[in-house]
């Protein structure tokens, strides 16, 4: 199960790096054009969401890989779950039905990681 959780952590971290990094690298106007939900938020809010995604991705991998402050890994998974919950709620509110599934899948993955790393498969 530990190997399975490592695989999930790595995949979720990559997804968060891609999502957050893309939003951080692009100007707000380009992000809002590509992602209609972003128009519901200010430029600063979108950049903050992106930064939190990147930080959660780092928290999923670095503490566990280095063995330093390993409690940060399940905390990062919990934070990622909260971010994904916010994404799902936002897409439902805006009736962006095709965008709900990716966020919901990442939410479930984050919850599984948090459960495993806080619970029976903690460091």
Burial class (CB in 10 A: 0-12, 13-18, 19+), 95: exposed
End-to-end CA gap in the chain: 12
Q: Is the pLDDT of residue 25 over 90?
A: yes
pLDDT of residue 123: 75
pLDDT band at 87 (very low <50, low <70, confident <90, very high): very high
CB 108 within 8 A of CB 49: no
Determine the average pLDDT of the residues in 24-28: 97
Calpha distance 108→103 (Å, rounded) = 9
Using one digit for the tens of pLDDT, what is the confidence trace for 95-113?
Answer: 999 999 999 999 999 999 9
Find all residues with CB under 8 Å of 78, minimum gap 6, and list them. 110, 114
Determine the average pLDDT of the residues in 80-91: 98
Using one digit for the tens of pLDDT, what is the confidence trace for 53-71?
Answer: 999 999 999 999 999 999 9
DSSP H helical segments within 26-71, as ranges?
28-34, 43-66
User: Mean pLDDT for the chain?
Assistant: 97
The predicted model scores a pTM of 0.94
* Tokens matching residue 19: 């999502």
């Amino acid at each position: 199960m530990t190997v399975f959780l490592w695989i999930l952590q790595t995949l979720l971290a990559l997804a968060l790096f891609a999502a957050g990094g893309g939003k951080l690298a692009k100007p707000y106007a380009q992000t809002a054009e590509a992602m209609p939900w972003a128009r519901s938020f200010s430029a600063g809010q979108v950049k903050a969401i992106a930064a939190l995604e990147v930080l959660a991705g780092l928290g999923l991998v670095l503490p566990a890989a280095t063995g330093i402050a390993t409690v940060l890994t399940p905390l990062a998974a919990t934070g990622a779950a909260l971010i994904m919950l916010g994404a799902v709620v936002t897409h439902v509110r805006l009736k962006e039905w095709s965008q709900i599934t990716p966020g919901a899948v990442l939410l479930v993955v984050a919850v599984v990681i948090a459960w495993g790393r806080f619970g029976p498969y903690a460091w």
